[in-house]
Structure 1
Amino acid sequence: MTTSAPESVLDVISELLIERFEIPSDEVRANAPMRALLTDSLMVVEMAIAVHEMLGVKIDEEELRGATLGEFAGSVEARRTDR
């Protein structure tokens, strides 16, 4: 799998989707739209909180809705390295 994010951030976010949100692992792919994975607004809010707690990056809910998993992981990684 080729993504713009290092495996560690992509792995953390993928694990959150699978473990906390019970998304089937075969649906968790870098090119999957986040809006398809997080199907309601509560899930989006919970993911934003979880990413902040686990990775120390505050994210906007609209950012989650508008990106693929790979794009989102890349954006989170870029902000982690900017600190």
Structure 2
Amino acid sequence: MTSAEFDQAVDAVGKLTDDPGNDTKLRLYALYKQATTGDVDGKRPGFTNPVGRAKYDAWAKLEGTSSDQAEADYIAEVGKLTGA
């Protein structure tokens, strides 16, 4: 159900040469998951898994966002990184 533009943006992220930083990577992760899976489910990881916890929290902030909106936001975010 993903659009070609979304697929191109996902591909572009894999080809980035500069590290966009943890905040941006978390936002992209959350938008990708929201677009492809929907609202977060499952248990929040414990304090012994800070990376998993950060990912879960970033995704949970997008709860209720439609997959179409998450796709559009992801494409826009990648556009900022690539200058497209």
Compute the TM-score of the two structures, normalised by the length of structure 1: 0.35
